[in-house]
Amino acid sequence: MPTPTGSYTSIPALRQVALGVFRAGLQAADPVESVRSCLRSNDADALFAEDRWALLAVGKAARGMALGARSVLSVAPVAGVVVEPKALAASRRSGGDRQPVPVELRSWPLVWRRGSHPLPDRGSQLAARAFERCAATPSDAGGAERFLALLSGGASALLAAPTKNITLADKVRVTELLLRAGASIGELNAVRKHLSRLKGGGLARLVAPRPATVLVLSDVPDDDLSVIGSGPWYPDPSTFAEAEAVLLRHGVYEQAPEAVRERLRRGARGQIAETPKPGDVAFLAIRHQVVATNACSVAAMAAEAERAGFEVAREERPVVGEARDAAEQWILALSPGPPRRVARVSGGETTVTVRGVGRGGRNQELALAFALLAERESERLAGRPWCFLSAGTDGVDGPTDAAGALVDHASLQRCRAAGVDPAAALADNDSYRALAAAGDLLRTGPTGTNVADLQVLLVQPG
Of 406, 394, 392, residue with least CA distance to 436:
406
Phi, psi (deg, nearest 5) at residue 93: -65, -40
Say whether pLDDT at 93 is over 60. no
| Separation CA 384–CA 316 (nearest Å) | 25
Q: Cα separations (Å) of 371 from 74, 304, 374, 434?
A: 52, 24, 5, 11
Say whether pLDDT at 175 is over 80. yes
- In the prediction, which pLDDT does 337 show? 67
HEC profile for 298-322? Answer: HHHHHHHHHHCCCEEEECCCCEEEE
| Separation CA 368–CA 350 (nearest Å) | 14
| Separation CA 162–CA 272 (nearest Å) | 15
pLDDT band at 99 (very low <50, low <70, confident <90, very high): low
Per residue in 58-79, pLDDT tens?
Answer: 999 999 999 999 999 999 999 9
Burial class of 309 by CB neighbour count within 10 A (0 to 12, 13 to 18, 19+): exposed
- In the prediction, which pLDDT does 2 show? 45
Per residue in 267-320, pLDDT tens?
Answer: 999 999 999 999 999 999 999 999 999 999 999 999 999 999 999 999 888 999
- In the prediction, which pLDDT does 334 show? 81
Mention every residue, 6+ apart, whose C-beta is less than 8 A from residue 241. Answer: 267, 268
| Separation CA 158–CA 453 (nearest Å) | 20
Residues forming a β-bridge with 319: 348
Average pLDDT, the chain: 93
- The answer to whether the CB of 404 falls within 8 A of the CB of 391 is yes
Amino acid identity of residue 231, one-letter, is: G
Per residue in 350-363, pLDDT tens?
Answer: 999 999 999 999 99
Say whether pLDDT at 95 is over 60. no
Phi, psi (deg, nearest 5) at residue 349: -155, 110
Query: How many helices, marked H, and strands, marked E, lie in the chain?
Result: 18, 13
